[in-house]
Every structure is written in structure tokens, then in C-alpha cells.
Amino acid sequence: MNRQRISAFLLRLSGSVEILAFIAVVMPRSWMEIAHAWLGMGEMPNAPVIMFMIRQASYTYGMHGISLWVIASNVERFRLLVILNGFAYLIAAPVFFLIDRSSGMPLWWTLGDAFGCGGFGAALLWLSWKND
């Protein structure tokens, strides 16, 4: 498998996971409360800004997932966008780590977020490197 095919596979994989965020756009609040408690974070706050952030962030993640699928359709043509996403994920790793830690997210979530983003970003950049 060549670098472009691996990049396309990784972009589709990440895009597919992000597309799942669309579920939270329409998910009943009661399900969110169950997930919140299951994660060990106690009772979910009942404030309009919470629902606003959950639903809008989920929509944004879902749309980003769709954009990754578009980019994966032709990684050579969209190489600059692959590189942009690679850098964005690398930068997201420490940013998400700090956000997750300061927000009180579980350690497994925090590390998964940081290492997942950093590893994915590094892989995209490495696969995009031209050896000409």
C-alpha cells in the first residue's frame, strides 16, 4: 500500500469516527445524562450553554468528518488540506490535553485525546512528506 492510500484510509477512519458526533446533535438529553454519569462525572449540569455547546460542537465535528472524507477522495489534489489537518491535529494534542485536564475529564480520556490527535497528525504529516 502506498502513502496516498494509507493517508486516504486514515482520513476516512478518522472522518467516520467524527461523523458519529452527529448523533449527539439529536440525542435526547436523558441519554447524555446517562453517559455523563457512566463516565464518572456525576450529575450533568442543567444549563442552556451546556446543551448549546454539546450540540454545536457535535455538529462541527460531524461536518469535519465529512470534510475528511472529501479530502480522502483525492489526497494528492488536497495535499495542502491534508498537511493543514496534520498540523491542526498536532496542535490539538496539547490543547486538548490542557482542556481535558482543566475540565476534570478522566485520565484515560485525556491521554486518549492527546495521543490520538498527536499520533494522527504526525502520521498525516509523515505520509504527506515528499521524498523527491
Number of domains in the chain: 1
| Residue whose cell numbers read 455523563 | 36
Q: What's the mean per-residue pLDDT of the chain?
A: 94
What residues make up the domain containing 55?
3-128
Q: Who wins on pLDDT, 40 or 131?
A: 40
Give the model's pLDDT for residue 87: 98
pLDDT in the model for residue 117: 97
Q: What is the 3-state secondary structure (H, E, C) of 31-67?
A: HHHHHHHHCCCCCCCCCHHHHHHHHHHHHHHHHHHHH
Distance of CA 82 to the CA centre of its chain: 15
Query: Average of pLDDT values for 9-37?
Result: 96
